[in-house]
Amino acid sequence: MKRIKLLLALFIPFVNGIYAQKTAFIAPNSARQAESLVVSITGTNTNFLVGSNTMQFYYQGSPTNKVVSNNNYSTSNTQMVANLFVQASASIGAYTYKITNSFDGIINGSQNFYVMPDTGTASLLSIDPSEGMQGEQLQVLITGRNTHFSQASQTSQINFLYNGVLTTDVVAFPFGSNDDTHLQAFVMVNSNANFGDYTLRVTNLVDGQMDLPNGFKVGSGNSPTIVKLDPNIGHQNETLTVSVIGSRTQFSQASPTAAFFISGSPTTDIEIQGYQYINDSNVRMQVYISPGAQRGFYDFAYFDGVRVLQKTNSFEVTWPNAIEEKVKKVSSIKVYPNPTASSVHIESENNAIEKVEVYDGLGRLVQTELPEKPNEKVDFELGDINLPNQLVLLKIYTYKGIQFYKLFHQ
């Protein structure tokens, strides 16, 4: 008898859990047309964690897809979160809803969900900053009224018009939205862009096409620029301090991100190890040039939190100091062809050549040539030194001393 009572004590709550009235309460319980929102659903006697939950809305007793739920997830048996999207064409009025899962079956909503009219026509208010200069790249914030940027961010397109015609003088790429009325974008102004006012156009599937006449301007000299890097030359395997000199800049107002580029791509040949602000138009960088850095000219880019300021061919990397100091122009010796793929011919006037050493760009000895006897002419082939398209250094030993010559190896 005691065993039967115990079983009943355990079974009755279980049965009540299955057959007790189950309801769901949604908050918030209203949204406007073309709005997306996150809602919290509280259940009574529910088991949201047991299985997958689906949510269906009804308008005037019939199922509808004008209000849809997706990405639902449960935080407990009685708590669920859902992402709702109300179609722009959804009828205004009251909707009912039901939640279904394999354990509870159908759970009826305890109150209506209301669709309200949209608040007005979507429009653009501003773009900030609203001016750029030729060749400039900048990050902008577009502000709208009655817009739905966060809901339509995946479909947003940004264009500019000059004299009423679509143009590629200024191009933009949206990369995120803070909310429905703010859209972030990256803007690039062509180096040959026409000066003057441009119309900003934003288009998406929810708001349609929105124009801001004369919203953006390409100016001729009021925007910040990088004037120069000082010094603008460095040696392989060297650490030095380089000053970035700007005009109309505000270096001290934001944390910088700077980089060197070669052939259009970021490079680690030149490493920026630290920054020191002097004033709004001068910031000093501690720069390290790697031993294997490619010799030649590098572009420089500086991001101040809003704009990307660029200076092309602004910094040159040359030979290591030890080699640079030794290289001299020698008129008494002829080396040809230059450049060369392999063959090297050296002629010296009234000065016999005893030995020729070949050094790579790092100052390493990679080849030695010893004539059978000192001679005013020496011919040899460059060996397999794996130095295509690089300068090599010839160290030429003569009766009158040692001389150096630069040779470009193709």
Concatenated DSSP letters of 83-143: EEEE-TTPPSEEEEEEEEETTTEEEEESS-EEEEPP-S--EEEEEES-EEETT-EEEEEEE
CA dist 238 and 362 (Å) reads 12
Domain that holds residue 211: 123-219
Q: Which of 40-44, 194-198, 334-338 has the lowest mean pLDDT?
A: 334-338
Do residue 127 and residue 184 come from a single domain?
Answer: yes
> Which position has the higher pLDDT, 249 or 298?
298
CA dist 407 and 410 (Å) reads 10
- Looking at residue 253, the DSSP 8-state letter turns out to be G
Q: Which of 110-124, 189-203, 322-336 has the lowest mean pLDDT?
A: 322-336
- Boundary of a domain, candidates 219, 235, 263: 219
Do residue 254 and residue 282 come from a single domain?
Answer: yes
Residue 6 has pLDDT above 60, yes or no: no
Asked whether the beta carbons of 43 and 58 are under 8 A apart, the reply is no
Residue 341 has pLDDT above 90, yes or no: no
In DSSP terms, which residues pair with 225 in a beta bridge? 247
Do residue 289 and residue 243 come from a single domain?
Answer: yes
Do residue 260 and residue 343 come from a single domain?
Answer: no
Mean pLDDT, all residues of the chain: 83
Residue 218 has pLDDT above 60, yes or no: yes
The pairing of beta strand 377-381 with beta strand 67-76: unpaired
Per-residue pLDDT, 16: 47
Q: Tokens standing for 217?
A: 């301007």
- Boundary of a domain, candidates 263, 293, 318: 318
* Sign of the dihedral through C-alpha 339, 344, 350, 352: positive
- Boundary of a domain, candidates 268, 288, 318: 318
Mean pLDDT value of segment 54-58: 95
Q: Which of 137-151, 221-235, 268-282 has the lowest mean pLDDT?
A: 221-235
Do residue 163 and residue 74 come from a single domain?
Answer: no
* Sign of the dihedral through C-alpha 147, 151, 155, 158: positive
CA dist 207 and 201 (Å) reads 12
Mean pLDDT value of segment 272-291: 88
Per-residue pLDDT, 44: 92
Per-residue pLDDT, 166: 94
Mean pLDDT value of segment 296-312: 82
Do residue 11 and residue 99 come from a single domain?
Answer: yes
Residue 196 has pLDDT above 80, yes or no: yes
Cα 243 from chain centroid (whole Å):
25
Asked whether the beta carbons of 199 and 169 are under 8 A apart, the reply is no
The pairing of beta strand 79-86 with beta strand 36-44: antiparallel
Torsion angle defined by CA atoms of residues 313, 316, 317 and 321, in that order, rounded to the nearest 10 degrees: 180
pLDDT tens, 11-26? 444 444 445 678 899 9
Do residue 22 and residue 102 come from a single domain?
Answer: yes
Mean pLDDT value of segment 361-371: 79
For 340-409, give the DSSP string.
Answer: BSSEEEEEETT--EEEEEEE-TTS-EEEEE--SS-BSEEEEE--S---TTEEEEEEEEETTEEEEEEEEE
Per-residue pLDDT, 405: 79
User: Per-residue confidence at 42, pLDDT binned at 50, 70, 90?
Assistant: very high
Do residue 89 and residue 75 come from a single domain?
Answer: yes
Q: Which of 93, 99, 96 is nearest to 72 (CA)?
A: 99
Residue 122 has pLDDT above 90, yes or no: no
User: Per-residue confidence at 366, pLDDT binned at 50, 70, 90?
Assistant: confident
Do residue 15 and residue 109 come from a single domain?
Answer: yes
Tell me what percent of the residues of the chain surpass a pLDDT of 70.
88
Q: Tokens standing for 98?
A: 């039901």
The pairing of beta strand 30-32 with beta strand 113-116: parallel
CA dist 388 and 365 (Å) reads 16
Do residue 240 and residue 209 come from a single domain?
Answer: no
Q: For tokens 């501690």, what's the residue?
A: 286
Residue 324 has pLDDT above 70, yes or no: no
Mean pLDDT value of segment 317-326: 62
Q: Give me the CATH number covering residue 157.
A: 2.60.40.10
Residue 180 has pLDDT above 70, yes or no: yes
H-helix or E-strand spanning residue 251:
none
Q: Tell me if the pTM is above 0.85.
A: no
In DSSP terms, which residues pair with 131 in a beta bridge? 217
CA dist 132 and 405 (Å) reads 48
Residue 171 has pLDDT above 90, yes or no: yes
User: Per-residue confidence at 162, pLDDT binned at 50, 70, 90?
Assistant: very high
Tell me what percent of the residues of the chain surpass a pLDDT of 90.
30
> Which position has the higher pLDDT, 257 or 402?
257
CA dist 270 and 268 (Å) reads 5
What φ, ψ does residue 154 adopt, rounded to 5°? Answer: -75, -15
Q: Give me the CATH number covering residue 395.
A: 2.60.40.730
Do residue 207 and residue 247 come from a single domain?
Answer: no
Residue 292 has pLDDT above 60, yes or no: yes
Do residue 82 and residue 135 come from a single domain?
Answer: no
Mean pLDDT value of segment 195-202: 93
User: Per-residue confidence at 97, pLDDT binned at 50, 70, 90?
Assistant: very high
Biggest CA–CA distance in the chain, Å, is 128
CA distances from 101 to 15, 49, 264, 293, 388 (A): 17, 10, 55, 63, 69
Residue 278 has pLDDT above 70, yes or no: yes
- Which residues contact residue 337 at a Cβ distance below 8 angstroms, ignoring those fewer than 6 apart? 343, 345
Query: How many domains in the chain?
Result: 4
Per-residue pLDDT, 389: 62
Mean pLDDT value of segment 328-335: 62
Asked whether the beta carbons of 270 and 283 are under 8 A apart, the reply is no
CA dist 80 and 72 (Å) reads 7
Residue 216 has pLDDT above 60, yes or no: yes
